[in-house]
Chains A and B, each alone.
Chain A
């Protein structure tokens, strides 16, 4: 089996995997019911998909041109650095705007005890005054 045929197979596999990951991420963003759930799809799956596609392009141009390529490496590095930052800012914006969430979403936006927000103190049975 020729070396170039194997390399073409690897590039094709990376391309199809990248497209599938990007599609799954967007499907999760379109389908899930809650903003905090919808944030999961694009931040993880789509970033992995674009990483696969850029690796395929890097492999292809590295083989055909015979020299290593830098631009795809730059794009990959930049996207992998900035995707968590923008996701964090989006989550902060969602918490700030107090978006509604469904019951199954675990972890409430503000995880405080009821006595810490000025409500009636919760009795502690082991302290003797409850």
Chain B
């Protein structure tokens, strides 16, 4: 039961990542692409957590935490650049 649920959930997350890539390529403006990148970070965290469930190991959670922190910081940095034209004033 758990294997089937993992397969279904991974397929759904993969489709979500494909939709994010579509929005990142097509996206008419810069904040659209930034939003797509931010969502890709979150979806990749989900994928890593499910890989940890699949391999039955707890090694990958530090990587997921690192991706979460760096994703937030990079989103804020690019937003500041678009807002002010400068990151650290």
Contact = CB atoms under 8 A, between A and B. Distances in A.
Contacts of A42: 35, 38-39, 42
B32 A47 contact: no
Given A30-B23, A46-B42, A53 B36 contact: no
A57 to B, nearest CB: 5
B1 interface: yes
Interface string A82-123: 110110011011101101000000000000000000000000
B87 interface: no
Interface in B39-63: 39, 42-43, 45-46, 49-50, 52-53, 56, 58, 61-62
Interface of B: 1-2, 4-6, 8-13, 15-17, 19-20, 22-23, 29-32, 34-36, 38-39, 42-43, 45-46, 49-50, 52-53, 56, 58, 61-62, 64-65, 68-69, 72, 75-76, 79-80, 82-83
A38 B23 CA distance: 10
Given A23-B13, A86-B72, A71 B46 contact: no
Nearest to A72: B61
Contact of A93 (B16, B22, B61, B79): B79
Nearest to B61: A71
A71 B56 CA distance: 15
B23 to A, nearest CB: 5
A24 to B, nearest CB: 9
A56 B54 CA distance: 12
B87 to A, nearest CB: 13
A35 B62 CA distance: 33
Contact of B9 (A9, A16, A78): A16
A50 B13 CA distance: 10
A38 B79 CA distance: 17
Interface string A8-48: 11011101101110110111011000010011001000110
